[in-house]
Amino acid sequence: MSATPLLQLRDLRVAYGAIEAVKGISLELAHGELVSLIGANGAGKTTTLNAIAGTLGTAGGELLYEGKGIEKLPAHLRLRRGLALVPEGRGIFTRLTVEENLRMGAYCRRDHDAVEADLERVFTMLPRVKERLQQVAGTLSGGEQQMVAIGRALLSRPRLLLLDEPSMGLAPLVVEKIFEVIRSVAAEGVTILLVEQNANLALEFSQRAYVMESGRITLAGSGAELLADPKVRAAYLGE
């Protein structure tokens, strides 16, 4: 067991101007864990992920990755350390082809042979992507775009994968497929922090979870514990 967690937030604060969206949260992820962060709209989940990935600055507290503070590191350098975010709304480059989108994921890599091999692995994982390689990505369906977004993130060979609402706006069957993919990524040892509004799905799926409310973490526990918690059931599972 490695002693330092892969990711550690200590009293992290994030603000948009004068408005604090994340009001001091602490959480940690050990190597290889699959953890989810659930909560209502506007609870600060996306803000938290963006702060971890570096597209938003922090307003206080500590953000440790592999034991080192990365608060001041720009987003593009965080990716180079193995920290990848699949952003909310997928963030596909709609005017680039599917293949170009995937290759953007490997932008920083110099090991070209391994990139080609990884591309092949993404194709086996996401067979529908391969048929559409030369298509402009904006013409794909939402589910296909989400697949491309995840495949693209995998091509950077992340150690920590942050997923922001991968199920958003997708049909249940498609969501199931996407979660199968996420499970197989986790099985390969990639640490995953998943933000989801679909609490039921997220809790069944993860080892541990945090519940976020108005910028604070209000509950934490294993997926099963939280699924059984009456407060969680009432607030997020619609019971």
Partner 1 sequence: METLLQQTVNGLVVGSVYALIALGYTMVYGILGLINFAHGDVLMVGALVALEAIRLLQIYAPELGMVPTLLAGLSVSVVVCMILGYTIERTAYRRLRNAPRLAPLITAIGVSFLLQTLAMIIWGRNYHSFPQLVSTEPLEPIAGLFITPVQITILAVSATLMVALVLLVNKTRLGRAMRATAENHKVASLMGVDTNKIIAVTFIIGSALAAVAGVMFSSNYGTAHYAMGFLPGLKAFTAAVLGGIGNLGGAMLGGLVLGLVESIGAGYIEDLSFGFLNSSYQDIFAFVILGIVLIFRPTGLLGERVADRA
Q: Which residues bind partner 1 (CB under 8 A)?
A: 53-55, 74-77, 79-80, 84-85, 87, 91, 93-96, 100, 103-105, 107-108, 152, 156
Please say whether the beta carbons of 90 and 140 come within 8 A: no
Q: Give the containing element (helix H, strand E) for 102.
A: helix 98-105
User: Least distance to partner 1 from the beta carbon of 222, Å?
Assistant: 30
User: Least distance to partner 1 from the beta carbon of 4, Å?
Assistant: 24
Between 80 and 231, CB nearer to partner 1: 80
User: Least distance to partner 1 from the beta carbon of 67, Å?
Assistant: 22
Between 42 and 138, CB nearer to partner 1: 138
Please say whether the beta carbons of 154 and 122 come within 8 A: yes
Between 95 and 231, CB nearer to partner 1: 95
Backbone torsions φ then ψ of 19, nearest 5 degrees: -95, 120
CA distance 231 to 212: 13
User: Least distance to partner 1 from the beta carbon of 57, Å?
Assistant: 12
For the chain, counts of helices (H) and of strands (E) = 10, 10
Please say whether the beta carbons of 39 and 212 come within 8 A: yes
Between 87 and 143, CB nearer to partner 1: 87
